[in-house]
Amino acid sequence: MDRRRPQAKTRRRLSAVVAAAAVAALAMTGCSGTGESSAAGGDGRIPMLNFGGFGGGSNPKENYNPYLATALSVGNYLYEPLMMLNEYSCKYEPWLATKMDWKDPSTLVYTLRDGVKFSDGKPFTADDVVFTFDMIKKYPALDTRGAWASLKSVEKTGSDSVTFHFDGPGASSLVAVNSVLIVPQHLWSKVKDPTTYTNTKPVGTGPMMTSTFSPTKLVLTRNPGYWQADKIKVDKIQFNNSDQGQVEQLKLARGDYDSNAMYIPDIDKSYVAKDPKHNKYWFPAGSPISLYMNLDKKPFDDQSFRDAIAKAMDKDSIVEDAQQGYVEKASQTSLVLPNAKDWLPSSIPDDGYISYDVKAAKAELDKAGYKLGSDGKRLDKEGKPMSFSIQIPGGWNDWIQAAKIVQKDFSALGITVDMQNPTYEVQNQNRLTGQYDLTFGVRGGSCDMYRNFLEPLASSETAPIGEAAKTNEVRWRDDTTDQLIDQLRQEPDPAAQKKTVGELATIMYEKKPYIPLWYGASWFEYSTKRAVGWPSASDPYAKPSNMPIILTHLTPAK
C-alpha cells in the first residue's frame, strides 16, 4: 500500500508564520537553490532544466543500481525496458524492442531495435536481455515486480529476438516483464553480488548519463549516442534535494524549478499567480483511496448495509474540503477514470459513480433491519447501538480531514464512529491482519489490471504472484471473483481481458467489497519559461511519471 499512497506526509498546511520565516530566510541569503542558469538556448536546445528531488533520504549516497530500493530515483533516465508502458493510456510504446508477439498463450517473442548502444558505446544485443533476466532470476531480491513469478525461461532466438517462455498463460506478467530495466552484460557479469552493488558509474541505453553528484544536487547530461538522440533537446537536468518542504514550495513559486512534484496549498494563488503565463500544473488521477470495511465483522458482511453506506459518503466534500479540490471523486468500479474508460462496461450506469443520497441511505438501512432507536441512534439487528472505529495514520492530515467527513456521514445515519490515529506502521499491520473496523486503503489504479483486482479481492491463498493474494485486506471471499481473476491471469487476448475486467468492475459496483472515495493526485507542476511540450490536462499524452516519454516531447520555449 505505502508505495502507491499519495504523498501524505508532505501534505502539511503551510502556516503564515512558517511561510514568512521561509521567505525571510530566502531573502536574506539570496539563495536560488538551482545553481547554473537554465535559460533556453538559441540553437534549438535547452541548456538545463531544474527538477525536484532525487531520493536517497536525508543523506543520499550515490547508488544507481536500478533494482535496489536504496537507489537514487533517476534510474529511468539511465536504463530502459523492452517496451515502454504509457501509464496514462496504459498502452505499450516500442522502446528497446520494436514489437512483441504472442506465439501462443505461454510464448512471447520480442523483436529488438537495431542500432541501440549503451552509453559507453558498446552495442545493445539480445545477450544483454537474456543476461538481465537470468540475473534477476538468480537473485530474486532484484526481481522487484515479480517478472519470474510465472516465467520459465528466457532465451535468445536470433540476433534481434528474445523469446520468453512462461509456465502457463503469461499475459498477467506482461507489465512486470516490461518493467525490467536492461543492463549491459559486459559490465554486470563482472559484479560479484548485484544485491549490494551500488553501481556508481552507471552505463545504460537511456537518454541521460550521470555527471556530478552531491547530497543536495545531482546533474545528468544528455547521452549523445542515444538511439533517439534527435528527440532529446535537453542538455542537462539538475535535481535538487531538500527536506525543507516550505522553502521548496517557495522556490517552485519563484521559478527556481522547471518541474517538481509536490503538494502546495492554494496552488492557483501561491504558484500560478506568481507567473500566470508560464506556471502550470496538472494532477492526473492516481490510485483510488478507499473506505475499507472489515468484512469479517458484522454488519459489514451485509451487502445491504454496504449499499447504504456507499450512498451516504459525501465524496464531493472530501474532494473540496479535505483535498482542496485538487483531485476527483472515485468510481465505485475502482477503475481510474477517465484513463481506463475503455475498460468500463456500458452496462454500468453513470460510469460507476454513486450519488450522495442520505435519505436513500437511511431508507435502505431501515429496510435491511437497522432501525433508529428512540434516541436517534442506529441499532444493529440485535437492538444494540452501532458504534465503530476508523484507523487513520497520525500526521496524514489530508486523510484525517477526509476521515472526519466520513465520521459526519456515519453520524448522519445515527452511527457513531470513533477516530483512532496510530502510527502508519501500526495502521498498516492492523489492516493486513484484520484488526480494524474501518480504515482507508490504497489498491489498484495501475495499468496492471490483473494486479488491480488480484491484490484487493482475491481470496485464494494459492493465487499466483505469491503474497499478492494475501493483501485482500477487506476479507472479500467470493468464488466468482476468484474465477474471473484467474481467467484474467490466463487471457492473452485484449478484447477478452476487457470483458473480464468489466465483469470484475461490475462486482465492485454491485456488491461493494470496499468503497473507493477519491483518486490520489499525481502531483506535477511545470513551467513553460524554458521548455514547452509538457503533458497536461489538454494534452495528456503521458503521466508525469513517464519522464522518458516526456523528454522526447520537450522543446525550447520561444
39 domain residue, yes or no: yes
Final residue of a domain: which of 127, 158, 188?
A: 188
Final residue of a domain: which of 188, 220, 239?
A: 188
| Residue 253: Cβ within 10 Å count | 20
Domain identity same for 299 and 389: yes
Average pLDDT, the chain: 89
Q: Is 413 helix (H, G, I), strand (E, B) or coil?
A: coil
401 domain residue, yes or no: yes
Domain identity same for 334 and 381: yes
Domain identity same for 506 and 543: no
Residues in the chain with pLDDT values less than 70: 1-42, 243-245, 460-471
Residues of the domain holding 13? 2-59+207-284+522-556
Of 7, 558, 554, 59, nearest to 258 (Cα)?
A: 554
70 domain residue, yes or no: no
197 domain residue, yes or no: no
Q: CATH number for the domain including 476? A: 3.10.105.10
CA distance 81 to 97: 8
| pTM, rounded to two decimals | 0.83
Return the pLDDT at 485.
Answer: 92
Domain identity same for 431 and 509: yes
Q: Which residue has the cell 501500526?
A: 426
Of 132, 143, 110, nearest to 187 (Cα)?
A: 132
CA 207 to chain centre: 23
R_g of the chain computed on alpha carbons: 25
CA distance 447 to 466: 20
Domain identity same for 430 and 543: no
CA distance 268 to 532: 20
Return the pLDDT at 244.
Answer: 62
Return the pLDDT at 465.
Answer: 47
Domain identity same for 296 and 371: yes
Return the pLDDT at 32.
Answer: 37
Q: What are phi and psi of 527, to 5 degrees?
A: -120, 140
- Residue-wise pLDDT tens digits, 102-138: 999 899 999 999 999 999 999 999 999 999 999 999 9
| Bridging pattern class, strands 161-166 and 107-112 | antiparallel
- How many residues are there in the chain? 558
375 domain residue, yes or no: yes
Q: CATH number for the domain including 156? A: 3.90.76.10
Burial of 170 (0-12, 13-18, 19+ CB in 10 A): buried
29 domain residue, yes or no: yes
Q: Which residue has the cell 456507499?
A: 310
Sheet holding 259-260, edge to edge: 259-260, 525-527, 279-281
Q: What are phi and psi of 549, to 5 degrees?
A: -70, -45
H-helix or E-strand spanning residue 269: helix 267-270
**CA angle, 437 then 11 then 356, to 5°:** 50
Return the pLDDT at 39.
Answer: 53
CA distance 149 to 166: 9
Return the pLDDT at 13.
Answer: 34
Q: Are 502 and 313 in contact (CB under 8 A)?
A: no
CA distance 457 to 466: 14
Cis preceding-peptide flag for 338 (omega within 30 of 0): yes
Domain identity same for 393 and 358: yes
Q: What are phi and psi of 426, to 5 degrees?
A: -70, -45
Domain identity same for 338 and 399: yes
CA distance 471 to 489: 17
**In 123-235, which ranges are E strands?**
151-158, 161-166, 208-213, 217-222
- Residue-wise pLDDT tens digits, 83-94: 999 999 888 999
35 domain residue, yes or no: yes
Q: Which residue has the cell 548485484?
A: 194
74 domain residue, yes or no: no
Q: CATH number for the domain including 269? A: 3.40.190.10
Domains held by the chain: number: 3
Return the pLDDT at 9.
Answer: 37
Domain identity same for 302 and 432: yes
DSSP codes joined into one string, 58-125: TS------TT-TTS-TTHHHH-B-SEEEETTTTEEEESSEEEEEEEETTEEEEEEPTT-B-TTSPBP-
Q: Are 515 and 318 in contact (CB under 8 A)?
A: no
Domain identity same for 38 and 126: no
Domain identity same for 498 and 531: no
CA distance 65 to 525: 28
Q: How many angstroms separate the most distant Cα atoms in the chain?
A: 81
Cis preceding-peptide flag for 299 (omega within 30 of 0): yes
| Residue 292: Cβ within 10 Å count | 24
Of 289, 343, 306, nearest to 505 (Cα)?
A: 343
- Residue-wise pLDDT tens digits, 449-473: 998 999 999 986 545 544 444 568 9
Domain identity same for 380 and 456: yes
Of 43, 198, 51, 225, nearest to 121 (Cα)?
A: 225
